[in-house]
Structure 1
């Protein structure tokens, strides 16, 4: 894997600002042809500089609020509890999962438009064969939410 040159860095910067930009428009911004931009993006994906793409949704015209819950998950076996992680990856409302030290094993962040959906997810997680126990806390409000520059990867 070769290091990023200034054009690769420009391409990543532009994609972070607007992941939907066309190859032609991006090429105009970095002074390359549409095809040359496409080739560079494919290489950046292949080499892991671009790990994927995602959509971040907003409330749109509605006043839809997001309910956030943190679930502390205790597994039966910390070392061989991969089945729980695999199952968590399949739940769309699970937006983050961290393996922790200390008393509990996993910290799972769940975001849903309804508290009842979080209850359903809690039941699903609690019922997993590898889960020994859970503790759930609902967030009352979010006062600080940052994207760290080093983590602004287009997923």
Structure 2
């Protein structure tokens, strides 16, 4: 990634719906060059997926939970990962070393939805056990790559 790629990502972080033309003007490239760079950044994994951010009152319209998963077979548990990837409320899914195999962060519209997802995960054929913790409050929430020294200030 070069400085222009960093600028493109910074602009997309501010406004993911910015047009290629407007973005091109901000980074001083042609519209086609910006499109090609975005496609390359997607292929390289720097840009992945699309996120819906719900805005609402500060009392929290989203219930967040962490689900720690023990798989029956760590080496052949890809079916569990594939199933987790299909759950829209899963916002983070990471394979861990140590006691647990997978850490899943859920963000759902209700506690009931968290319960249903937890039951679905617990019933998966490759899952041996789960431990679930509800998020009571969020102290730090940084965008990914938030410490980049090359990011525009």
TM over 0.5: yes
**71-80 or 98-107, larger mean C-alpha shift:** 98-107
Kindly state the Cα deviation for residue 71 of structure 1 after the two structures are TM-superposed: 1.0
Kindly state the Cα deviation for residue 94 of structure 1 after the two structures are TM-superposed: 1.0
2:65 is matched with 69
Normalised by the length of structure 2, the TM-score is 0.81
User: Which of 27, 35, 38 is 2:24 aligned to?
Assistant: 27
Unaligned runs of 5+ in 2: 149-153
Distance in 2 (CA, whole Å) between partners of 1:148 and 1:39 is 22
Kindly state the Cα deviation for residue 91 of structure 1 after the two structures are TM-superposed: 0.5
Check conservation: 1:125, 1:131, Cα contact below 8 A.
yes
Aligned length: 148
Describe the shift of the 1:32–1:99 C-alpha distance in structure 2 as closer, same or farther (beyond 3 A).
closer
Kindly state the Cα deviation for residue 119 of structure 1 after the two structures are TM-superposed: 0.6
RMSD: 2.5
Stretches (4+) displaced over 6 A: none
Question: Residue 68 of structure 1: SS of its match in structure 2?
Answer: strand
- Max radius of gyration: which structure? 1
Distance in 2 (CA, whole Å) between partners of 1:52 and 1:84 is 21
Normalised by the length of structure 1, the TM-score is 0.80
Check conservation: 1:64, 1:113, Cα contact below 8 A.
no
Describe the shift of the 1:39–1:76 C-alpha distance in structure 2 as closer, same or farther (beyond 3 A).
closer
Kindly state the Cα deviation for residue 106 of structure 1 after the two structures are TM-superposed: 1.2
1:42 is matched with 39
Written as runs of structure 1 = structure 2, the 5 A alignment for 1:1-155 is 4-46=1-43, 48=44, 50-60=46-56, 65-149=61-145
Unaligned runs of 5+ in 1: none
